Amino acid sequence: MRLPVLIAACLVLLQLPARAELVRACADQAEMPPFVYAERVAGQKSNRITGASVDLLRRIGERNGWQIEVQLLPWARCVAQVANQQIQIALNISASDGVSNALQTSDAYFTLHNVYYTSRRARPAGIRLAKLSDLQNYHVCGMGGYRFEAYGISTASVDRGTTIGYEQLINKLHLGRCDLFISNRETMAGQYLINPKLRGMLVDGTLVQQALPGVPNQELYFGVAADSPQAADLLHKLNTGLERLEKNRTFETMLERYLQ
């Protein structure tokens, strides 16, 4: 009787699902909709992190047996914890952020379009940049923890301070405390998903958006620790997943779902 019982027990164990590997990822707490943000419930921020980049990572994770856990952190802390191997993956990282924080980057999965914003209240005549070097004639502001080398300028030249969100940046423009700030049109469009107040600030006619000249559009990557023993395997799995999904334009479909 013992052998049949043992065989039956083994068959049961073989049918049990393998335990998923926990893979931790982080993104900027300032949020970057439609790529990553905290889902709103009755207008309040919830603990559920969503967005097209999160969906993309989870789709890749499904084929690799990963359980994906994403948290929003101050950006400088996020990339530092990935570099220190406390977290495996940083979402929506730029190539320059990867280099400056000792991270290896995956293949690119999206290209952003660089723009700059000015205030009609503070500067009714507007600001027209003919070339990137014209920025040196203006007071540029940005959010704390962000780097700006990807836009072709030195981070040290940008007034970042303790600014943590687009509302603060726009208010600084309107108050004349800076002349312009740089972002990308996809992230700004995504603000409609999370912030009714900011939505009003974007469409009231006082904020002017123009293309940023003289710098290539920025690409988004996954970032992993450069000196992690698992880095090569992790990057291989990420890139294999990206290549497979790119063949049927899966990410574009994911993104469109958020922007409808």
pLDDT of residue 1: 45
Q: Are strands 103-105 and 219-225 parallel, antiparallel or unpaired?
A: antiparallel
pLDDT of residue 119: 97
What mean pLDDT value characterizes the chain?
89
- Report the pLDDT averaged over residues 182-211: 87
- Report the pLDDT averaged over residues 184-210: 86
Least confident range of 7-11, 139-143, 255-259: 7-11
User: pTM of the prediction?
Assistant: 0.78
pLDDT of residue 3: 54
Task: Reply yes or no on whether the pLDDT at 21 is more than 80.
Answer: yes
- Report the pLDDT averaged over residues 10-39: 79
Residues 205 and 199: their CA atoms lie apart, in Å, by 11
pLDDT of residue 80: 96
pLDDT digits (tens, 9 = 90+) for 124-172: 999 999 999 999 999 999 988 788 888 889 999 999 988 878 888 999 9
Task: Reply yes or no on whether the pLDDT at 13 is more than 80.
Answer: no
Nearest Cα residue to 179 out of 224, 144, 225, 142? 142
pLDDT of residue 18: 58
Residue ranges and CATH numbers for the domains of the chain are 18-111+218-259 (3.40.190.10), 114-211 (3.40.190.10)
Cα 67 to chain centroid, rounded: 20
DSSP string, 166-191: HHHHHHHHHTTS-SEEEEEHHHHHHG
pLDDT of residue 11: 52
3-state secondary structure of 87: coil
Where residue 54 falls among pLDDT bands split at 50, 70, 90?
very high
